[in-house]
């Protein structure tokens, strides 16, 4: 089982655990803070379930109709999850404003504090795990999922802080005010997901760190006099790289040229994650042909 699938299954199981804890506590105490959090955890479970289906689809091998794999399905689901995150926090702002207008504030209960602390410990552990896996796998779905649970983590923290302030200072309005501030912060933070989705849609180049490495790698081979037409793009977690290399000796054998090309490709694949490299071997510099038409010299 892949790291992404394993991470989604763990997130789903965690959501089920939180659902059980929060709904039992919510029914026992009728605390609106806990019931609201329970509803949110229920939504998290269905989101994680859809994430699993998206990742399973993205891991399907390439076929006759999809020669470049199915990785972009993750990005389309990530934008849908971003809409869920953004929409849920718009709802939080609206409901918080309604509470301020109608003077409907949460009540102090020790049970609420205990349940929120348990939820924080569980959610915090999950966020660390999802963040680690998303960085290792370049999965935008897991990154969006991590952001989703991170927003839950902040919500739980502020519910506790609100309850403490309510108890100590008797300021019930603090709960909706803090909720609005957190909602605006999470919405601003979630723009990163939208930015990465836009880059994918526009076939944005891969990170400069990797591009610089490719250039440095090519320059280390003394047989290669220059390179041109270097192009990169990211599709899902896959990084596609292509370029031409020009050999100083126009009489170089095809075998030697191929060996050098393979060595360059191997070094790039070892450094750039999920790299797919296409190298064109040139015996003369045709970089002046901007449209990349091949000019064959007559011998």
Each residue's pLDDT tens digit, 22-73: 888 777 766 656 666 677 777 777 777 776 766 676 666 766 776 665 666 6
Helix axes of 174-189 and 191-201: crossing angle, nearest 10 degrees: 20
- 135 or 264, higher pLDDT: 264
Give tens-digit pLDDT for 69-123.
566 666 676 677 677 767 777 877 787 788 778 776 666 567 777 877 888 899 8
Handedness of CA 233, 148, 59, 7 (dihedral sign): positive
Quote the pTM value: 0.58
Domains of the chain, residue spans: 3-201, 208-282
Split at pLDDT 50, 70, 90, the class of 298 is very low
Mean pLDDT, residues 201-227? 90
What pLDDT is recorded for position 90?
A: 81
Strand, coil or helix: what is 190? coil
Cα–Cα distance measured from residue 42 to residue 22, given in angstroms and rounded to the nearest whole number: 10
For residue 239, the cross-strand partners are 234, 275
Instruction: State residue 181's pLDDT score.
Output: 76
% pLDDT > 70, the chain: 75
User: CATH for 208-282?
Assistant: 3.30.70.1350
Residue 239 and residue 244: Cα distance in Å, rounded? Answer: 17
Backbone angles phi, psi at 233, to 5 degrees: -160, 155
Q: Which of 274, 144, 136, 240 is nearest to 196 (CA)?
A: 144
What would the CATH number be for the domain defined by 3-201?
A: 1.20.1510.10
């Amino acid at each position: 089982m892949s790291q992404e699938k394993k991470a989604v299954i763990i997130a789903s199981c965690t959501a089920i655990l939180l659902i059980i804890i929060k709904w039992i506590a919510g029914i026992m105490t009728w605390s609106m803070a806990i019931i609201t959090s329970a509803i949110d955890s229920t939504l998290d479970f269905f989101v994680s379930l859809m994430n699993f289906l998206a990742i399973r689809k993205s891991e399907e091998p390439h076929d006759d109709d999809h020669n470049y794999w199915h990785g972009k399905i993750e990005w389309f689901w990530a934008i849908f999850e971003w809409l869920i995150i953004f929409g849920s926090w718009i709802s939080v702002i609206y409901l918080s404003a309604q509470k301020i207008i109608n003077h409907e504030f949460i009540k102090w209960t020790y049970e609420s504090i205990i349940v929120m602390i348990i939820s924080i410990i569980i959610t915090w552990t999950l966020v660390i795990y999802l963040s680690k896996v998303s960085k290792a796998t370049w999965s935008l779905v897991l990154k969006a999922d991590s952001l989703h649970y991170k927003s839950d983590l902040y919500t739980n923290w502020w519910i506790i802080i609100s309850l403490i302030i309510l108890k100590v200072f008797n300021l019930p309005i603090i709960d909706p005010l803090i909720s609005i501030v957190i909602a605006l912060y999470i919405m601003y933070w979630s723009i990163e997901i939208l930015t990465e989705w836009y880059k994918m849609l526009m076939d944005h180049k891969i990170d400069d760190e990797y591009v610089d490495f490719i250039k440095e790698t090519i320059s280390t081979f003394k047989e290669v006099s220059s390179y041109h037409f270097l192009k990169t793009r990211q599709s899902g977690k896959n990084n596609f790289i292509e370029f031409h290399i020009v050999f100083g000796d126009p009489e170089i054998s095809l075998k030697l040229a191929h060996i050098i090309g393979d060595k360059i490709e191997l070094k790039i694949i070892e450094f750039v994650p999920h790299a797919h490299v296409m190298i064109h071997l040139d015996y003369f510099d045709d970089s002046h042909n901007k449209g990349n038409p091949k000019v064959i010299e007559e011998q």
